[in-house]
């Protein structure tokens, strides 16, 4: 087997909305190099277009209904919980490569904790609990990583948004420091360890764009830092093929649709009333946070057995929907842009949903499109997903918070964010086997990335994967050139048509 090399650079939340103006104006020469001398197209994210389901699809080659992480909050046996890598039901790309004895270096993997025992090195990202020392495999490398990075960070420190609220310049310094630690670690491992797949995920961009979207100086400065890293990679890549990809895109945040507020007015969402819940909500202590930490500490099962159900039910389920009573509400919307879960299909619920669609979708004031679950996900874990997905219009975000008004500027409620996720991410490929100067005719899907990487490494692609190898990606004459491809799942064509429609709506 040929010793092909692949470099995967993930840039969380990256969008051509940012890249095109900056490359056009000469700020990002290395990005321009890989775009003009490689292939590029838009990437269509998962629904919801959030970190956990999107990166998991990228790293598994399947849609969320197959890998099981259908959103930040999932429903199992009538109970809601925060999703984690423990809910992933298929092999990761890393485990497939390990079985094939492919040496790999993975830096800042955002959706896995604890680190997998890969054939090589793995450093975890923001799924790592705060202050945890269990962020690297093999553990013998931890001191080396700490030393080279001057104190490795798997994410920004807790409360960084409060720092930004007090001082945007200090907040920007925190974000820059975080990115530099990731980049410095990546460069060191890139140059000092053997690998066939090198992967680094830059998550600072997501944090930056939430709070600095529209701030030209801050955005430009940070992307120039990334551009210098791209330059380093292409200068040392030898014969490796390079993929640059994001999990979702970004756009301006002008107004929020506080959907649980509206649903409360319709009588299908109930608020919690007990004092314990109200206090915990103020402190941002939620059932999901506590359960997540206890799971990682392997204490959840024991404490769950001895904790009275009355105490469990008094805890807010989600920080974003902390005042929503998930047990008494007939409909819940638990996370940002996450989708509606229907707990009861009574006539009142159906009337409320019809009114929601009529007022906000048909009039095209807030909602761009409405999707049923069967049009978005498929597979054995589709039941974990939302029943209805709502695609907000550009400039809007659908928020689960209960506020005094259903539609308002986020600043009215102390929210200092200026950017929010959008479904359209980026895909760029560059290298000796890649066609040059080509914009692919159609977008790529998150679940296409894993099969493409496997193909680049001359490995077989599991038949259960939903993704495909794009035949228009590789130059003729390359050993990687493929004449034809097929979807691996009978439902994929219908899903593809639905998702292409989504992309056209959101672009």
The whole-number average pLDDT for the span 369-386 is 94
The whole-number average pLDDT for the span 226-241 is 95
Q: Supply 476's token pair.
A: 């003729």
C-alpha–C-alpha distance, residues 57 and 467, integer Å: 9
Q: What is the pLDDT of residues 435-487, one digit of tens each?
A: 999 999 999 999 999 999 999 999 999 999 999 999 899 999 898 987 655 44
Q: Work out the number of other CB atoms within 10 angstroms of the CB of residue 60.
A: 32
DSSP state of 384: G
Is the CB of residue 425 less than 8 Å from the CB of residue 248? yes
Q: What is the pTM of this model?
A: 0.88
Q: What is the pLDDT of residues 297-341, one digit of tens each?
A: 555 555 455 454 444 444 554 555 567 888 889 999 999 988 999
Q: What is the pLDDT of residues 30-79, one digit of tens each?
A: 999 999 999 999 999 999 999 999 999 999 999 999 999 999 999 998 88
The whole-number average pLDDT for the span 74-86 is 89
Q: How buried is 237 (Cβ within 10 angstroms: 0-12 exposed, 13-18 middle, 19+ buried)?
A: middle
Q: What is the pLDDT of residues 98-127, one digit of tens each?
A: 999 999 999 999 999 999 999 999 999 999
* pLDDT score at 502: 54
Is the CB of residue 182 less than 8 Å from the CB of residue 202? yes
**Is pLDDT larger for residue 497 or for residue 38?**
38
C-alpha–C-alpha distance, residues 202 and 384, integer Å: 28
Q: What residues does each domain of the chain span?
A: 6-59+90-251+421-501, 255-272+316-416
Give every CB contact of residue 130 below 8 A, 6+ residues apart in sequence.
155, 158
Share of the chain above pLDDT 90, in %: 75
Q: Supply 215's token pair.
A: 């701030």
Is the CB of residue 115 less than 8 Å from the CB of residue 99? no
Per-chain mean pLDDT for the chain: 88
Q: Supply 367's token pair.
A: 């909602």
What confidence tier does 295 reach under pLDDT thresholds 50, 70, 90? Answer: low
Is the CB of residue 102 less than 8 Å from the CB of residue 457? yes
Output the furthest CA–CA distance in the chain (Å, rounded).
Answer: 70
pLDDT at 244 over 70: yes
Give every CB contact of residue 88 below 8 A, 6+ residues apart in sequence.
56, 60, 67, 68, 69, 111
Q: If you classify domain 255-272+316-416 with CATH, what class do you get?
A: alpha beta
C-alpha–C-alpha distance, residues 433 and 453, integer Å: 12
pLDDT at 272 over 90: no
C-alpha–C-alpha distance, residues 231 and 90, integer Å: 35
Give every CB contact of residue 217 below 8 A, 6+ residues apart in sequence.
none
Is the CB of residue 339 less than 8 Å from the CB of residue 388? yes
CATH superfamily of 6-59+90-251+421-501: Alkaline Phosphatase, subunit A (3.40.720.10)
Q: How far is CA 226 from CA 212, 230, 319, 463, in A?
A: 16, 6, 32, 36
* pLDDT score at 489: 46
Helix count and strand count (H, E) for the chain: 18, 21
């Amino acid at each position: 087997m040929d010793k092909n090399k692949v470099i995967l650079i993930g840039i969380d939340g990256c969008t051509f909305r940012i890249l095109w103006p900056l490359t056009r104006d000469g700020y990002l020469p290395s990005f321009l190099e890989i775009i003009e001398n490689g292939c590029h197209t838009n990437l269509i994210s998962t629904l919801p277009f959030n970190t956990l389901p999107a990166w998991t699809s990228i790293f598994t080659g399947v849609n969320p209904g197959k890998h099981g992480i259908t959103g930040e909050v999932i429903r199992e046996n009538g109970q809601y919980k925060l999703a984690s890598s423990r809910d992933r039901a298929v092999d990761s790309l890393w485990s497939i490569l390990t079985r094939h004895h492919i040496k790999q270096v993975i830096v800042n993997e955002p959706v896995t904790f604890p680190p997998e025992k890969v054939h090589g090195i793995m450093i975890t990202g923001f799924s790592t609990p705060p202050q945890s020392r269990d962020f690297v495999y093999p553990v013998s490398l931890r001191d080396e990583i700490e030393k080279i990075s001057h104190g490795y960070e798997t994410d920004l420190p807790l409360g960084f948004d409060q720092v930004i609220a007090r001082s945007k310049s200090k907040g920007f310094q925190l974000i820059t420091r975080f990115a530099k630690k990731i980049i410095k670690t990546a460069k060191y491992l890139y140059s000092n360890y053997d690998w066939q797949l090198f992967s680094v995920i830059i998550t600072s961009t997501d944090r930056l764009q939430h709070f600095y979207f529209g701030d030209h100086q801050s955005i430009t400065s940070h992307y120039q830092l990334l551009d210098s890293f791209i330059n380093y990679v292409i200068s040392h890549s030898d014969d490796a093929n390079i993929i640059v990809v994001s999990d979702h895109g970004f756009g301006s945040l002008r107004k929020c649709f506080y959907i649980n507020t509206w649903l409360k007015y319709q009588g299908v969402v109930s608020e919690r009333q007990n004092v314990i819940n109200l206090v915990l909500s103020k402190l941002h202590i939620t059932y999901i946070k506590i359960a997540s930490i206890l799971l990682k500490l392997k204490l959840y099962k024991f404490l769950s057995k001895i904790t009275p159900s009355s105490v469990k039910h008094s805890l807010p389920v989600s920080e974003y929907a902390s005042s929503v009573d998930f047990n008494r509400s007939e409909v819940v919307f638990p996370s940002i842009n996450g989708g509606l879960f229907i707990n009861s299909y009574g006539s009142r619920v159906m009337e409320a949903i019809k009114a929601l669609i009529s007022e906000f979708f048909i009039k095209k004031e807030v909602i761009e499109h409405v999707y049923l679950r069967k049009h978005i996900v498929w597979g054995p874990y589709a039941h974990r997903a939302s029943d209805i997905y709502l695609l907000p219009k550009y400039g809007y975000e659908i928020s689960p918070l209960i506020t005094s008004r259903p539609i308002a500027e986020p600043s009215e409620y102390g929210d200092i964010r200026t950017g929010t996720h959008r479904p359209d991410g980026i895909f760029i490929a560059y290298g000796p086997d890649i066609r040059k100067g080509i914009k692919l005719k159609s977008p790529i899907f998150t679940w296409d990335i894993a099969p493409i990487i496997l193909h680049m490494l001359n490995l077989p692609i599991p038949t259960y994967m939903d993704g495909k190898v794009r035949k228009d990606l590789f130059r003729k004459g390359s050993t990687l050139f493929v004449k034809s491809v097929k979807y691996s799942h009978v439902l994929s064509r219908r899903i593809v048509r639905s998702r292409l429609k989504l992309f056209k709506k959101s672009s």
